[in-house]
Chains A and B, each alone.
Chain A
Amino acid sequence: MTLDELPRGQRAVVTALDLRGGERRRLMDLGLLPGAAIRADMTSPLGDPTAYEVRGALVVLRRGQAKTVHVEHSGTPSGSTER
């Protein structure tokens, strides 16, 4: 599935980025690399954009960007993190 389908509070692991060039680079620099754990943290009132927690920081993506991030469910629905 893609990141935009990840329900709020759920965790997943990034498997691939469906992007090229500068935008791909940017997301990778912000920590969205294959294998990275990610959690849908907050959604704005209209559902777009959404804030995701990645490696101890919040990264806010528009739905169009989130659609390019392929993820795999890692289960364990949770509201709080260990940090």
Chain B
Amino acid sequence: MAAPLPTPGVGPSPAEPAGACTSCALAPSTARLARLGLAPGRHDHVVALAGNPNTGKSTVFNALTGLRQHVGNWAGKTVARAEGGFSFGGAGYRIVDLPGTYSLLSTSTDEDVARDVLLFGRPDVVVVVVDATRLERNLPLVLQIRQITGRVVVALNLVDEARRHGITVDTRHLTRELGVPVVATAARRNEGLPELLAAIAQVATADDPPKPLRLTHHDPALEKAVADLAAQVEARFPGVPNSRWVALRLLEGDAGIEEAVRNGTLGDLATPREAA
């Protein structure tokens, strides 16, 4: 739907006039991507990019920011996190590229980095990049992230490769099942990026985003333990948005969450975020 993406260095200058209000509705050239590279300047929204290893997160990151950050096909390439910026529709975005993980629950440095940013960084939008050719393998992470937040956009990436393998994915059905927008992309060809940007903008500005997904367990003993512990977590940290999720992690013996409870960092989740 949106206008085709400008290539860097082509077309109107992407730079906003100095001092211009990038968020006000009167800003000119709305609905146009400006890749701001490493100098995002002021930003209105924070976007985190998550996904399994090797799904093209960094390619999506580069397509959005215009950076040429370390794209490579080996495990653990993005060890810490890379940040960049872009502006779209008159709003500034800071985007954080997270290390690839299969899960937010195992214990490795990469997974801790990803988990901490998602949980404590409280991004306005989490873009989960999934591999359309191995969807089944990628969806568990989507579900885990959906348990933390409803502010999620799923980028169904590598659809070009999926097409070659004769795989088509029913994105509308998937959108309905997951309760969040699913956008088909082929980031290395800029395919689907306008739609992805529109979905990011929509979720970033949503007043009433979907609630975190609440999985029920059919084991009454577990259900009771979770409910009891969740009540204690809420009593100690009023307003924590995902007390059930925290309770489940504590029951699993998740050291990072235990530490956050012990030193009170978990309480930061309850304090309202500074106005964007």
Is B19 an interface position by the 8 A CB rule?
Answer: no
Question: Count of A residues near B, CB < 8 Å?
Answer: 12
Would you call A29 and B102 a contact (CB within 8 A)? Answer: yes
Would you call A25 and B252 a contact (CB within 8 A)? Answer: yes
Is B189 an interface position by the 8 A CB rule?
Answer: no
Would you call A56 and B137 a contact (CB within 8 A)? Answer: yes
Is B103 an interface position by the 8 A CB rule?
Answer: yes
Is B149 an interface position by the 8 A CB rule?
Answer: no
Binary CB contact string for chain A from 22 to 60 against chain B (1 if under 8 A, 0 otherwise): 100110111100000000000000000000000111000
Would you call B137 and A57 a contact (CB within 8 A)? Answer: yes
Question: Count of B residues near A, CB < 8 Å?
Answer: 13
Once the chains are docked, how many angstroms separate the CA of A47 from the CA of B8? 53
Is A21 an interface position by the 8 A CB rule?
Answer: yes
Would you call A25 and B106 a contact (CB within 8 A)? Answer: yes
Residues in B with CB closer than 8 Å to A25 are 103, 105-106, 252
Once the chains are docked, how many angstroms separate the CA of A25 from the CA of B103? 9
Residues in A with CB closer than 8 Å to B133 are 56
Would you call A29 and B134 a contact (CB within 8 A)? Answer: no
Residues in B with CB closer than 8 Å to A22 are 106-107
Nearest CB in chain B to that of A37: its residue: B136
Would you call A83 and B165 a contact (CB within 8 A)? Answer: yes
In the A-B complex, the 4 residue pairs with the smallest Cβ-Cβ separation, listed nearest first, are A29-B103, A56-B134, A29-B102, A55-B137
| Chain B residues engaging chain A, CB cutoff 8 angstroms | 102-103, 105-107, 133-134, 136-137, 140, 165, 252-253
Instruction: Identify 27 residue pairs between A and B in the complex whose beta-carbon atoms are under 8 Å apart, listed by A's number.
Output: A21-B252, A21-B253, A22-B106, A22-B107, A25-B103, A25-B105, A25-B106, A26-B103, A26-B106, A28-B140, A29-B102, A29-B103, A29-B105, A29-B106, A29-B140, A30-B102, A31-B136, A31-B137, A31-B140, A55-B134, A55-B136, A55-B137, A56-B133, A56-B134, A56-B136, A57-B137, A83-B165
